[in-house]
Amino acid sequence: MFRNQYDTDVTTWSPTGRLFQVEYAMEAVKQGSAAIGLRSRSHVVLACVNKAQSELSSHQRKIFKVDDHIGVAIAGLTADGRVLSRYMRSESINHSFTYESPLPVGRLVVHLADKAQVCTQRSWKRPYGVGLLVGGLDESGAHLYYNCPSGNYFEYQAFAIGSRSQAAKTYLERRFESFGDSSREDLIKDAILAVRETLQGETLKSSLCTVAILGVDEPFHFLDQEAIQKVIDTFEKVPEEEEGDEAGEGEAEAAAVAPAEQGGAGAGDQDVAPMEM
């Protein structure tokens, strides 16, 4: 996959019909630390793992409020993510100003995807190296979308991106059918449990993750550390005992699935480029 003669330029096709630069951009997303999103009929929860450059620095912000009814979590080149968040905020506020009404999230992601597509068809640009999990509300309820550097977007019930996201995805795959009718509290709990899957053995502390929620009658906001710790305490209280609750099952299965995925990411922690988080 690497070192082809057709990968120098984003506007060069390979003989097999691929744009390698775009695919490399998607690799950058996989190097960033994990971001997770899930939704019920009325709420969307975004969660991410806090990574800091060193012990001395504060952690990178990966979740942004776009509007009261839209939030975004990013993975990959956070600088690109910030620029796109600014674009989303701008679109949202312009719509609110003209129509006195919130921008439907489905329309925002299409604008975002079209913007990303432009960078795949200009020789003087490069694709954005960031994946975005956009959660928001519109007339038809709560939605969660994933926007790719390729300019594609998909709607999800639940999704995870970034390094070691496969573990979280496996957890979510088992549980997603119940998310639609989940209560707000259960949704938050599932999000934090999914984050825990990506940590692979590291103890889950509220300082390691950021959680944000939005819903019908609930504008986008971050949960504070105390609230997160409370949820963690409900399933981490007795970590060793096999009580047959979800925490126990989750841990056993995650341990089985996790080692196999993403060869680069596991050993790659020390090799993570400074601009990617």
Partner 1 sequence: MTFTIPIENGNGVKDAEADSQRTLYPYVTGTSVVAIKYKDGILMASDMGGSYGSTLRYKNIERMKAIGKHSLLGASGEISDFQEILRYLDELTLNDNMWDDGNSLGPKEVHNYLTRVMYNRRNKFNPLWNTLVLGGVKNGEKYLGMVSMIGVSFEDNHVATGFGNHLARPILRDEWREDLSFEEGVKLLEKCMRVLLYRDRSAINKLQIAKMTEEGVTVSEPYSLKTFWEFKAFTNPTVGAEGS
Distance of closest approach, residue 97 Cβ to partner 1, in angstroms:
8
Spell out where 70-228 has E strands. 70-76, 130-138, 141-147, 153-155, 158-161, 209-215, 218-222
Q: Closer to partner 1 at the Cβ: 136 or 149? A: 136
DSSP one-letter string for 36-59: EEEE-SSEEEEEEE--BSSTTSPB
Q: Closer to partner 1 at the Cβ: 44 or 191? A: 44
Distance of closest approach, residue 92 Cβ to partner 1, in angstroms:
14
| Plot region of 3 (φ>0 → left; ψ -120 to 50 → alpha; else → beta) | left
Evaluate whether 32 touches 163 at the Cβ level (below 8 Å).
yes
Distance of closest approach, residue 99 Cβ to partner 1, in angstroms:
4
Q: Closer to partner 1 at the Cβ: 138 or 236? A: 138
Distance of closest approach, residue 94 Cβ to partner 1, in angstroms:
11
- What are the backbone angles phi and psi of residue 24, rounded to the nearest 5°? -65, -35
Which 92-111 residues touch partner 1, going by CB under 8 A?
Answer: 97-101, 104, 106-107
Q: Closer to partner 1 at the Cβ: 127 or 136? A: 136
Distance of closest approach, residue 135 Cβ to partner 1, in angstroms:
17
Distance of closest approach, residue 102 Cβ to partner 1, in angstroms:
10
Distance, CA of 154 to CA of 195 (rounded, Å): 21
Reduced to 3 states (helix: H, G, I; strand: E, B; else coil), residue 239 is coil
User: Which of 85, 108, 84 has the alpha carbon at shortest distance from 96?
Assistant: 108
Q: Closer to partner 1 at the Cβ: 98 or 123? A: 98
Which 127-146 residues touch partner 1, going by CB under 8 A?
Answer: 138-140
Q: Closer to partner 1 at the Cβ: 106 or 268? A: 106
Please give the single-letter amino acid code of residue 162: G
Total number of residues binding partner 1 (CB under 8 A)? Answer: 11
Distance of closest approach, residue 43 Cβ to partner 1, in angstroms:
19
Q: Closer to partner 1 at the Cβ: 76 or 104? A: 104
Distance, CA of 140 to CA of 252 (rounded, Å): 38
The CB-side HSE value for 209 (13 A sphere, CA atoms) comes to 32
User: Which of 124, 115, 126 has the alpha carbon at shortest distance from 134?
Assistant: 115
Residues 43-82: x where in contact with partner 1 by CB under 8 A, - otherwise, as a string: ----------------------------------------
Q: Distances in Å between the alpha carbon of 132 and those of 54, 125, 167, 183?
A: 25, 19, 19, 25
Q: Closer to partner 1 at the Cβ: 143 or 175? A: 143
Distance of closest approach, residue 139 Cβ to partner 1, in angstroms:
5
Residues 1-40: x where in contact with partner 1 by CB under 8 A, - otherwise, as a string: ----------------------------------------
- End-to-end Cα separation, the chain, in angstroms: 24
Residue ranges that bind partner 1, judged by CB under 8 A: 97-101, 104, 106-107, 138-140
